[in-house]
């Protein structure tokens, strides 16, 4: 069900949600958090769809801020989606026009679930300092995605400068499978010290730099990022040891990583590219500060060399 409200207020939107809850019974209950999606313009539907799919694991109230024409007379339009149009969530899309765009935090506050954590997500163009943003200040978890903006690596360094506990980025979640596989390989031969790490792939992708930063901070070794013209994401990791190099390679378009070690047969491990909703679900599972991400971003990133 989709309900459209024009020239409305947050209070009226909240009252309409209560009415829909009474009509739908328990269907609108049981939300575990409020997810605030902040649009910087453009199509919000991919983010809403990812949130709907993530709601299978995290039933949420999703509040989307989708600003309209700044030159329009001040007004608030809204759209409420429940039932099949919202997955396991209830979705409220707020479209502030004119000067109403400048008060998004006051628009969102009446729609927050009582006694439930708040997560703010910027699918594109996050502020340089997430915690100082008006919506970021009300959130326990703040999620950016510099992999989806121009100058993504440069923006990643801006996030480093403005980092506060509770910040994270979906580029970090995109490295989770690589981090898990690499850790398993290292633990398989704990006596061999890793002296250096090379991460290969598209160096315009922030996820490469975050993965290399994690190695630099976790292993206290040098970390090099090398461009792979045939790759659009991470294509491989080389773990350099005094006894030889362990190479993990995933060709472009492949869902399999090949692990090669000198004097040992090759092994293959399944690793498909993660969809957006999987990365979002991972970040919604743990709302406490991600200490490892913070250490990689603040301490490891500055030691990453790019070639």
Q: Map residue 291 onto helix, strand or coil.
A: helix
Question: Token pair 């294509």 is at which residue?
Answer: 235
Q: Please provide the average confidence, as pLDDT, over all residues in the chain.
A: 90
Burial of 37: CB neighbours in 10 Å, binned 0-12, 13-18, 19+ = buried
Q: What is the pLDDT of residue 28?
A: 44
**What span, in angstroms and rounded, lies between the C-alpha atoms of 34 and 91?**
10
**What span, in angstroms and rounded, lies between the C-alpha atoms of 157 and 111?**
33
Q: Which of 284, 289, 290 shows the shortest CA–CA distance to 56?
A: 284
**What span, in angstroms and rounded, lies between the C-alpha atoms of 209 and 215?**
10
Lowest mean pLDDT of 7-11, 13-17, 80-84, 139-143, name the range.
80-84
Lowest mean pLDDT of 28-37, 117-126, 139-148, 247-256, name the range.
28-37
**What span, in angstroms and rounded, lies between the C-alpha atoms of 83 and 32?**
17
What are the φ/ψ torsions at residue 104 (nearest 5 degrees)? -65, -30
Nearest-5° Cα angle at 159, 214 to 119: 95
Q: Which of 92, 163, 82, 105 shows the shortest CA–CA distance to 129?
A: 163
Specify whether the CB–CB gap between 47 and 39 falls below 8 A: yes
Please write the tens of the pLDDT for every residue from 23-63.
765 444 567 899 999 987 778 899 999 999 998 888 889 99
Burial of 142: CB neighbours in 10 Å, binned 0-12, 13-18, 19+ = buried
Q: Which residue has the higher pLDDT, 263 or 162?
A: 162
Q: Which of 214, 180, 217 shows the shortest CA–CA distance to 199?
A: 214
Query: What's the pTM?
Result: 0.92
Q: End-to-end alpha-carbon separation of the chain, Å? A: 52
Question: Helix 206-219 crosses helix 176-187 at what angle (to 10 degrees)?
Answer: 30
């Amino acid at each position: 069900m989709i309900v459209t409200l024009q020239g409305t207020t947050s209070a009226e939107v909240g009252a309409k949600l209560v009415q829909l809850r009474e009509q739908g019974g328990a269907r609108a209950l049981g939300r575990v958090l409020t997810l605030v999606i902040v649009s910087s313009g453009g199509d919000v539907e991919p983010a809403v769809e990812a949130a709907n799919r993530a709601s299978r694991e995290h039933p949420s109230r999703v509040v989307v801020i989708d600003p309209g024409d700044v030159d329009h007379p001040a007004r608030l339009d809204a759209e409420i989606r429940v039932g099949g149009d919202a997955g396991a969530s209830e979705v409220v899309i707020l479209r502030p026009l004119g000067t109403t765009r400048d008060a998004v935090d006051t628009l969102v506050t009446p729609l927050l679930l009582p006694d439930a954590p708040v997560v703010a997500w910027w699918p594109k163009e996050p502020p340089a300092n997430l915690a100082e943003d008006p919506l970021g200040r009300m959130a326990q978890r703040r999620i950016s995605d510099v992999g989806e903006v121009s100058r993504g690596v440069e923006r990643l360094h801006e996030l480093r400068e403005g980092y506060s506990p509770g910040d994270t980025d979906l580029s970090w979640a995109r490295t989770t499978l690589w981090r898990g596989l690499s850790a398993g390989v290292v633990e398989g031969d704990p006596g061999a010290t890793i002296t250096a790490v090379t991460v290969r792939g598209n160096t315009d992708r922030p996820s490469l730099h975050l993965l290399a930063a994690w190695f630099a901070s976790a292993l206290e070794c040098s970390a090099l990022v090398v461009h792979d013209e045939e790759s659009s994401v991470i294509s491989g990791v080389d773990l350099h040891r005094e006894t030889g190099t362990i190479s993990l390679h995933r060709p472009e378009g492949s869902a399999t990583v090949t692990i090669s070690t000198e004097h040992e047969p090759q092994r293959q491990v399944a690793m498909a590219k993660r969809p957006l909703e999987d990365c979002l679900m991972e970040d919604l599972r743990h709302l406490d500060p991600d200490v490892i991400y913070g250490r990689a971003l603040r301490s490891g990133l500055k030691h990453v060399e790019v070639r």
